[in-house]
Structure 1
Amino acid sequence: MNTPIATQNAPLTGIRVIDYSHFLAGPHMSRCLAAMGAEVIKVERPKAGDAGRAHGYFKDGQSGYFLQQNMGKQGLCIDLKDKRGLAMMQDLIKTADVFVENYRPGALTKLGLGYAELSKLNPRLVYCSISAYGHTGPDSAKAGFGLIAEAKSGAMAQLGTPGEVPPLLRMPIADMYAGVHGVAAICAALVGRATSGKGQHIDLALYDCMVSMHDYAVQRYYLSGGTDLPQRTGAGQPDSPIYGVFPGQDGYLVIAAQVDDAWKRLARLIGGETLAADERFAKPEGRAKNYAEATRIVEGWTKERTVRECLAALDAAEVPCSAVQTIDQVLADPQIHARNMVIEQQHPLLGIVKLPNLPFRFSDCDTTPKLPAPLLGQHNRAIAASLGYSDTEIDAMTKDGVLYSETAAG
């Protein structure tokens, strides 16, 4: 585990973020901002809180899903339908640099928390909205989740085996990708604010993010005059072989030998100089034309060996490869631990919990999360007091349920 010596403050130190989002895209975005040094205040509704709190895996009533995406944040649970709660939220907005939300367009305008309203309170506010389809266009009012964007974007249509139902991605690509784009856009808007003095509204759509991810399909369609559509190809990539999944005697591995030099090393390994010199496979177009035969040759070699034997030989030949690892294998991988990709946190109810870290590393500052995800309403009193509310006012709002906290939060 290599933690850098912190000779600088984290990059976003001094930036206050109000996270009024739920489930995944927004919370992941603000989690990244918190790791980079921002003070993030997670605002939730009374009793239920973020919908992510009801999403498993659970331990002792606590959601691992929520713990992972909300670490590093303070927790404020407030009733915005009460005029005192709305007034406190407005006071908080006046102190903020960034506001993050992922509700359906128009929903927060009804609460008085739309960009037009908040930018009047705080002209320097960078307001980031994430929604299924964005704030413009014929579908903007529709509800949607990452699954919808993944299906609608054409990504799902390229997965799986022809003739079978397309599989789920099983990782929230649309949400996580939108969250990362949000981080980039917010940081850019903050840089722009330094010269303009004004914030702005960032409008991110899950659907847009998924369409932007196409590295090949869109160009292929347009450059072919609309005649060439990507097809589902199962475990391989016929357009760019050898690049796919292959069976070993005791599991599966992937091989990425789509470039000429890698193919020659692979061919020499599995078929000697005869295969390496075979003109049918010398160039990418030839390997694509003879895809079935090239795949058959490679698969014949992998099937005769264990995955470990295949990897040892491929590594020695400098052919990019990996086992198809299960999660327990990933979490035992020395590379993951060397990169500090599993972090331990002390949770007030669960004790030590282990969760995935974020992937960015800075040479001169430590971005390890300092706080576990907050209990519901855990920091109500401290946040209200920082805004100038008296103990008497805080006690009254707590008694009336304007400020709410779960019992364990105090």
Structure 2
Amino acid sequence: MSEHEAVVFAERFARYRTEVLAEVEPPGPAAVRRRVRQRRRRTLGTAVAAALALGTGPVVGYAALTDPAPPPGPVQPTGTPSGSPAPSTSAGSSAPPTPTGAGSSPAAPNGRISRAQLLATPVSLPEWRPGSACPTKGARLVGEATRDETNVLLGLAYGDVDRDGATETVALTQCLRGTGGPMQVVAFDRDPAGGIVTLGRVATTARETPQWITDLEVTPGGLVRVQVADLAPGGGWPLDWSQRQWRGYRWGDGRFTQVEGPTTFGPNPYFADLAVSATDLTLSTAEDGSRSGTVEVLVRHLRGREVTRAVLDLDLPGQLRLVGGSTACADDTGLRAAPLVCRLGPIAPGSEVRLRLELRVPPGSALAAGSAQVSVVPYGPGGHHLIEPDRDNNTATINWR
């Protein structure tokens, strides 16, 4: 190879390296200017290649590399076109698998049940305490009781009590019996099909305490709070006198358990423990054929608050007439159809009241041997009954012969 050919080869290799590097550089103003200069060199190189065509075969190959590439033509399909590309199944593919839903948890059903829906749908209730005749299976709740032994809906609260991310319904119900009856708080939910199902009983009343439920609520954390009262209203007992407590219940292990608040009540401040006793009646016969005798009745205030007044009932037959003794007792002029009533008070704790009653059977009235009950009832402010912690000592028996 001559010196001239070597020079030409060197220039060609230098241009080749320069152009290849330019192809991998990012575009920019400098790259554009470089491209323009390269196109000018290509024109000169083409003329030199034509002159050396016979003796420079390898140079022709390299020169071809410097020619502008032809514009891209249309891409021909290589198979039958489809609506969506088929996923690659080659080994080692890193594409994620198509989701199938396996392992995902469906959203919990919405257990928020309106009052109207709850009244319109038969529900199952936990068992009422023994002696209650209200239904529990397929029971219909009523908004207002018109007869006894019906399940009354008294109140509603809402919250996520089982912590499944959805709302449940908590209801206060009562098995009506007269003006009272047992009460319970019940939680309801919905099944996946939308049906109403019973989740469980939250709290209930008892024969002793608590005898009444006054309110309920659900906290944002799912705690069911129930306000209970120690004594039920009615029979002369106002609800205002009942002690009240808030108790908290939480769902777990398939049931509600109390987790907050007191579990017992202390002595109610509106109580008084009165005890009554009486002597037997011994009747003696007078010259006119009448029979008479004396009875002593003792009322003691053992403990509790002051008794504003107390009513003593002596269930004596009408033939036994009160003719003297205590002025606290009254009698009529004819045969009695009602007990002899004595009104006492006030009676302070630790004190006692002693009554002496002179009784007489008029001539011609027959009175066989028998007995009668004596009972005492304490009253407090406003004329309401005070609670009696021991009712057994509130009665006594008078015998006669």
Fold-level match, TM-score > 0.5?
Answer: no
Max Rg structure: 2
For normalisation by structure 1, the TM-score amounts to 0.22
For normalisation by structure 2, the TM-score amounts to 0.22
More helix by proportion, 1 or 2? 1
